[in-house]
Amino acid sequence: MTLGPRLDLRQSQSLVMTVQLQQAIKLLALTNVELEAFIGAEMEKNPLLEGGSEDVADSAPSATAETTTTDQLIASGDAAADAPLDVDYAAETFHHDGPTDSLGDGDFSREGGSFDGAGAIGSGDSEGMDFDAVAGAAATLLDVLGEQAAAAFPDPADRLIAGHLIDQIDDTGYIAPDVVADVADRLDADAARVEAILGVVQRFDPVGCGARSLAECLTVQAREADRADPAMLALLGHLDLLARGDLASLRRLCGVDAEDLTDMIRELRGYNPKPGLRYGGSVAQSVVADVFVHRARGGGWTVELNAATLPRVLVDRSYHATLAAAAPTGGKAAAKASAKETRAFLADALASANWLVRALDQRARTIVKVATELVKQQEAFFASGVEHLRPLTLRAIAEAIEMHESTVSRVTSNKYLQCERGLFELKYFFTSGIASNDGGDASSALAVKDRIARLIAAEPAAAPLSDDKLVDLLQAEGFDIARRTVAKYREALGLGSSVARRRAKLLDAAA
């Protein structure tokens, strides 16, 4: 056996994900609002991409406003006419011609409706600025507390300590339990001084902000209301007993009778356990529907994308032709090199723009395809409600539309569906199943949870339903369910045990 270099010829297969393929996969997981931001960033990098509206396209001359579909673009290549590419990339609408109460083998066919996503980017609105929309930002909790601290502490050192304490207060008005020691160590200040300043901050409006616990927050409010007598302080010191509904122990600890305890509980309920939320806390992002589902005229359902959040994308091929014609073709070597770089840049920009348009069109069609199959599988829910929700998996949808399961997962992530029953995340419709004890179809876990919630809501106050009783009732209705599953679903709904519910109802009755 000899040792030495040699050449070997081998064949192998490997999956290589190009940058464009990676971006196409990324686009599937974006919501329509996130997609708008992505397109805006692409428009900043690519001079051939524009955002437009229907009004812009309609008012432009015919030589520059000709609409080209994606299929025409793929067929024509770079030799297409010098017209902008205006892709209406959400033009898939489907409906089911079958009855609304049962699916059967109904035909889901293309209805031919369309919409565009005009106006989100570069809408060309010429009506001027809407000054009502540019209102000043509302005061935040920290701003309000900071203004009061500036007036309450004339000593700059005290104001500095108060500022550090206020910065640690969260949106609900609470502060970490060890904040006094942390601030004292950070500013090299006396802990007693920091504690005294925190006490002043807690009396600012809203009262109770800066508390380290619920008991401290309510105690500060009781002191400000001049209701911090020994009995109330004893009640505030044993909130755990109040949460459990142990009124007998509370009466003994507070040294009051049942009537006085009822008055104290009623007063306690008038306090604010989260005073910081008066100023809104963090701004919550509203959820925008990506897909609309509504009843079709001839029966069945129509599925379409949300046009309001889809920006229209234009590929300005006339601008590309103008720049390409302006590039010098002769002259010195430096000019030739510059012209070559210009043509290469324009070719890359046009290819990138064309790919983006095709990727957006494919994304829209994929979302509509998945949503249509989802409506087809869960038609009983849209027609009759959550109690008719069927068990469904990503694999079932993927097999029905002949796509990979990971693609369906990306499409349904962070996407929302608006229908006559409300706004739902697409993931909501994928649930596990509970078998039927009579051999019928399995029921969705969400349907079982809904039934448990309805049974508990209708239970008599004097005799709440135990988990065993819930099992008996559910099995009588055809659900093959175990007691531990009922307990798990009940806890997931935020409902206490029968004992806890009985105590809570007695507490409500006493108050």
The whole-number average pLDDT for the span 157-169 is: 93
Least confident of 332-346, 374-388, 421-435: 332-346
The arithmetic mean of pLDDT across residues 187-201, rounded, is: 94
pLDDT at position 419 is 92
Q: Per residue in 322-353, is it b (16+ CB within 10 Å) or e — as a string?
A: ebeeeeeeeeeeeeeeebeeeeeebeebbebb
Cα–Cα distance for residue pair 214/239, rounded to 1 Å? 9
User: What average pLDDT does the segment 296-306 reach?
Assistant: 87
pLDDT mean over 468-485:
87
**Interval 394-420 mean pLDDT:** 91
Q: Based on the number of CB atoms within 10 Å of its own CB, is 290 exposed (0-12), middle (13-18) or buried (19 or more)?
A: buried
Among 91-95, 261-265, 306-310, 388-392, which is the least confidently predicted range? 91-95
Segment 397-401 mean pLDDT: 93
For 226, left (φ over 0), alpha (ψ -120 to 50), or beta? left
pLDDT band at 123 (very low <50, low <70, confident <90, very high): very low
- What single-letter DSSP state applies at residue 174? B
What CATH superfamily is the domain 431-510? Homeodomain-like (1.10.10.60)
Q: Which of 508, 511, 509, 507 is nearest to 249 (CA)?
A: 507
Rg of the chain taking only CA atoms, in angstroms: 33
Please, which pLDDT band fits residue 398 given cuts at 50, 70 and 90?
Answer: very high
Q: d(Cα 52, Cα 121) in Å, to the nearest integer? A: 7
Give me the phi and psi of 394, to 5 degrees please: -60, -35
**Sign of the dihedral through C-alpha 232, 238, 243, 248:** negative
- Look at residues 360, 310, 357, 363 and name the one whose alpha carbon lies nearest to residue 123: 310
Please tell me whether the overall predicted TM-score, pTM, comes out greater than 0.85 for this model.
no
**Structural domain spans, the chain:** 19-91+291-411, 141-279, 431-510
- Provide the 3-class DSSP secondary structure of residue 100: coil
Q: Looking at the predicted structure, is the pLDDT value of residue 508 above 90?
A: no
Q: DSSP letter string over 482-505?
A: -HHHHHHHHHHTT---HHHHHHHH
329: confidence class by pLDDT, cuts 50, 70, 90? low
> For position 132, what pLDDT does the model report?
45
pLDDT tens, position by position, 20-73: 778 788 888 888 778 888 888 888 888 888 876 544 333 333 333 223 233 332
**pLDDT of 215:** 94
Q: Is 152's pLDDT higher than 70?
A: yes
What pLDDT digit, counting tens, does each position of 309-318 carry? 777 788 888 8
Enumerate residues 6+ apart whose C-beta is below 8 A from 145. Answer: 166, 169, 201, 204, 209, 210
Antiparallel, parallel or unpaired: β 433-434 and 443-444: antiparallel
Helix (H) or strand (E) holding 301: strand 301-305
Task: Compute φ and ψ for 11, nearest 5 degrees.
Answer: -115, 135
DSSP letter string over 18-64? -HHHHHHHHHHH--HHHHHHHHHHHHHH-TTEEEE-HHHHHHS-TTT
Instruction: Give the mean pLDDT of 407-432.
Output: 89
Dist CA 7 CA 233 (whole Å): 88
pLDDT for res 431: 81
DSSP letter at 122 equals: S
Mean pLDDT rounded to a whole number for the chain: 77
**How does pLDDT run across 248-273, given as a tens digit for each residue?**
898 999 999 988 888 898 899 899 99
Query: 10 Å Cβ neighbour count for 428?
Result: 16
Confidence band for 278, pLDDT divided at 50, 70 and 90: confident
